[in-house]
Structure 1
């Protein structure tokens, strides 16, 4: 559902804009993030599926391990141009060449703070050194982008001279860098428009002021045709401008296509798993709440017209719409959720169920599918026989290999199994899967742990979302033992998912 484009808009729909992803370099510089070569390869493949034009695979000067990772990415023979970050040192260019990259991002100081204070040189010597390094890189058949570090705080006349020097020496393009997320759209437009008159220009923006996307769009409107981004907005401090946000803003608002948007959510999850940084629920485009509706008014409107409260269809970015239950849920949302779980309830029963859901939400509870179904069974007087139930669990993690054993009641039959894993929870889940065989082939969509009390004896709540075939169920369980809480939640979710398919549990796999 694109917006109506104005003929006066600053970015015409026929503009060609490409995205450069620096998740593997600038994104990895986020505190606590360290990517292995295998993880860099996985992310690079996901970036390729999304159609990213340029992938900055790392900084070859960092060390042997980093060079191995960059080489692994270049060996993939991707359609995307693969590059390396280089400081203003010839040896950095040599190390990048050893990795067989297509090009480099030569970072040289632009502001006096960096020219004099960081590098300890003069403006004139900086220009001379930049020209020498660009010529050297071009002599070795590299694509070269020169980034004027701290460009947003540089004297614009000097920034323009630096860019002109780089281009005269053979650089393919220059880049306006708001290195510390310091500036706003007006200053960005002023700087980029001057650089764009000299030759191709890129924009590198950070989100310290929450202006990363605004500055990127401002740069594009001023003439930039390449934007540096990171997946999920990863990066130092508040992060770089988010790839997915720039891409959807360009396509939805201006009609400018940059990525295969349906790959965006999968890409976000790949990066989240690799970096260990979860997706913020309220994050634009890829956050859990981006297409989730709880408010009774919004749910009712969405059920009547799925475009009522959404700027674009969730499928655009590989997502699905979700109706959540809580204190704000109305009858329409509750009825839709019951229908999703094949629960028949009359109007009066739906009203009673909705009231109880609201009361549960008023007590600060996140209302899960299991809560809803339990309330519905009570209201409708439906008796339900459990399909699978956890009887006992034992887990050990003191040795080199965590192990666990579980005892389940499966339709009146006791089943015992054991498993190993990377931790006690993983081992216990393996044991459950062993006990249930192919019937446990449900997919774990999400797994969240929250401490609900303090201290070393804290009670934790584990919430899981699992899916099987076309059904999805969310269950939460609270225990002092995280392993027990996790397994109980997963077993209860499987119990709900399997209740219409008892045949699948008739016999455990050998």
Structure 2
């Protein structure tokens, strides 16, 4: 069976950047574009060249890379927009015209005929300058169908290569999108694209409905970024096509999805929800005893696809719902042989932490094992001094003195606040000791009262492992530093144990 290839236009760098609070630098845009190219998206909407000099710089950086993906600029029905796009040496333009009466009459105070003429004239200008043109109808799901057909057909006769129906504010449900695309795919002779927003939580479902009804291209963003509730999420569309629609395929390398998602999270500053489909940290995480038992016996019992398919990994979480099978499996994975009595004790301690409402971090889980099995954690990195200076007229500054082996490390850091300054100083110390890096930081819980106990949880990585670690103290600065050092000690100790066991095996 010949599968129909569905083209993917990624608009993370344009529509995704319109997420409130997101502003990407030219270099950040370039790095994301290179990752998208590695993901093998067909088209990258790199921005809107008319917006600013910085925007044009970012687009130019991308076009100079000679990526395999087609590079587009978003443009309005203005020749000046086309000129700005040409300046950036893009391959194509995403030419958007308003199509609903609401936009044409209320926002622009023009007639349909004027809008149509502007769209076609601008398309002709772009085509005459050698650009590929995708003619896109803004707010098409609230537009008069005959006007859409007439404008699309006029554009096709002029030579535009693709057309797009935009559900700009998510005003249709999947069955309505299916009907609309079924009707238009029968009268449109060029590739028909869908641009769906997630205002009602059906952006991905609408994109899939459009494909089933004859569409051959979808617009999407990494992590579902975008204005208001965001755009259709690329990773969800891609995996759904792969798993459920055997008549269709994409050119994407799915195992690159997680890495691209984390890069976009890092640069955008918009955290991925742990429960986010496909690329959330909990997408392939299991805590409940029944689930962990099932997934260890046969992965497909509680995993619809292999985590490796999207570049993810399975995680067994330890907490109040943990069963003994998960504990036994993790001990086996670590190469440890525990007695039934020891397993019972580990099980008991994890349950006790869980019943207190605590997240059992990786460092705490390992500490429990070490304590029960007599493998006491040696404090390889020891905090000797912590000094913090802060005030209205003073830049928050922190200095730390840390002992590691027979060496003493002293570093200072500044930040937007005392906690940030302290973390900055500790990161400098850690950088001098190993390649361990801080990935995430958050305050996990705060008790009530003026002497509130603060729990800080950090996520650290040494490039091979990612672990969570906790620090608890009445002082959030001390809790933050302790969380960092607990995690560093955990990673260094595990590495030391592993090297020692290898030596014993070889000896």
TM-score, structure 1 as length reference:
0.89
The residue correspondences of 1:8-19 to structure 2 (distance < 5 A) are 14-19=3-8
Q: Structure 1, residues 159-203: CA drift from partner, whole Å, max 9, x if none?
A: 222211221122111101000011011221222223323122100
2:153 paired residue number: 164
1:138 matched to 2:127? The reply is yes
Determine helix, strand or coil for the equivalent of 1:478: strand
Q: Is the 8 A contact 1:418 1:430 kept in 2?
A: no
1:360 matched to 2:357? The reply is no
**Structure 1 pair 78–110 and aligned structure 2 pair: CA distance change class (3 A):** same
Q: Is the 8 A contact 2:367 2:377 kept in 1?
A: no
1:198 paired residue number: 188
The Cα shift of 1:376 comes to 3.4
Greater Cα offset, 309-318 or 487-496: 487-496
The residue correspondences of 1:333-482 to structure 2 (distance < 5 A) are 333-380=326-373, 383-396=376-389, 404-410=398-404, 413=406, 415-420=408-413, 423-433=420-430, 437=432, 439-450=433-444, 452-453=446-447, 460-468=454-462, 471-482=465-476
| Aligned-partner Cα distance in 1 for 2:201–2:447 | 33
The Cα shift of 1:141 comes to 0.9
1:310 paired residue number: 303
The Cα shift of 1:452 comes to 2.0
1:184 paired residue number: 173
Q: Which residue of 38, 43, 58 corresponds with 2:47?
A: 58
Q: Is the 8 A contact 2:399 2:422 kept in 1?
A: no
How many residues are paired up?
Answer: 490
Determine helix, strand or coil for the equivalent of 1:62: coil
Q: Is the 8 A contact 1:406 1:431 kept in 2?
A: no
Determine helix, strand or coil for the equivalent of 2:273: coil
1:119 paired residue number: 108
Q: Is the 8 A contact 1:13 1:254 kept in 2?
A: no
Greater Cα offset, 108-117 or 472-481: 472-481
1:499 matched to 2:489? The reply is no
**Structure 1 pair 343–432 and aligned structure 2 pair: CA distance change class (3 A):** farther
Q: Is the 8 A contact 1:176 1:202 kept in 2?
A: yes
| Aligned-partner Cα distance in 2 for 1:112–1:268 | 37
Q: Structure 1, residues 80-120: CA drift from partner, whole Å, max 9, x if none?
A: 11111111222111221122111111111111111211221
1:245 matched to 2:236? The reply is yes
Q: Which runs of 5+ in 1 are unaligned?
A: 1-11, 506-510
| Aligned-partner Cα distance in 1 for 2:90–2:460 | 41
Q: Structure 1, residues 17-40: CA drift from partner, whole Å, max 9, x if none?
A: 110011111001111111111111
Greater Cα offset, 483-492 or 115-124: 483-492
Q: Structure 1, residues 440-466: CA drift from partner, whole Å, max 9, x if none?
A: 223445433345257998754322233
Q: Structure 1, residues 21-78: CA drift from partner, whole Å, max 9, x if none?
A: 1111100111111111111111111111111111111112212221222222212211
1:223 matched to 2:214? The reply is yes
Q: Which residue of 118, 122, 136 corresponds with 1:129?
A: 118
| Aligned-partner Cα distance in 1 for 2:299–2:75 | 48
2:255 paired residue number: 262
TM-score, structure 2 as length reference:
0.90
Q: Structure 1, residues 398-448: CA drift from partner, whole Å, max 9, x if none?
A: 79987543233445x4623214466514432234226xx4x4223445433
| Aligned-partner Cα distance in 2 for 1:210–1:120 | 31
Q: Is the 8 A contact 1:401 1:420 kept in 2?
A: no
Determine helix, strand or coil for the equivalent of 1:141: coil
The residue correspondences of 1:11-30 to structure 2 (distance < 5 A) are 14-30=3-19
Greater Cα offset, 458-467 or 84-93: 458-467
CA RMSD of aligned residues (A): 2.6
Q: Which runs of 5+ in 2 are unaligned?
A: 500-507
Greater Cα offset, 35-44 or 399-408: 399-408
The residue correspondences of 1:66-105 to structure 2 (distance < 5 A) are 66-105=55-94
| Aligned-partner Cα distance in 1 for 2:270–2:449 | 24
Q: Is the 8 A contact 1:463 1:476 kept in 2?
A: yes
**Structure 1 pair 349–161 and aligned structure 2 pair: CA distance change class (3 A):** same
Q: Is the 8 A contact 1:403 1:427 kept in 2?
A: no
Q: Is the 8 A contact 1:472 1:497 kept in 2?
A: no
Determine helix, strand or coil for the equivalent of 2:177: helix
Greater Cα offset, 495-504 or 61-70: 495-504
Determine helix, strand or coil for the equivalent of 2:302: coil
The Cα shift of 1:390 comes to 2.1
| Aligned-partner Cα distance in 1 for 2:42–2:308 | 23
Determine helix, strand or coil for the equivalent of 2:345: helix
The Cα shift of 1:340 comes to 4.0
**Structure 1 pair 68–480 and aligned structure 2 pair: CA distance change class (3 A):** farther
| Aligned-partner Cα distance in 1 for 2:2–2:454 | 50
**Structure 1 pair 83–384 and aligned structure 2 pair: CA distance change class (3 A):** closer
Determine helix, strand or coil for the equivalent of 1:289: coil
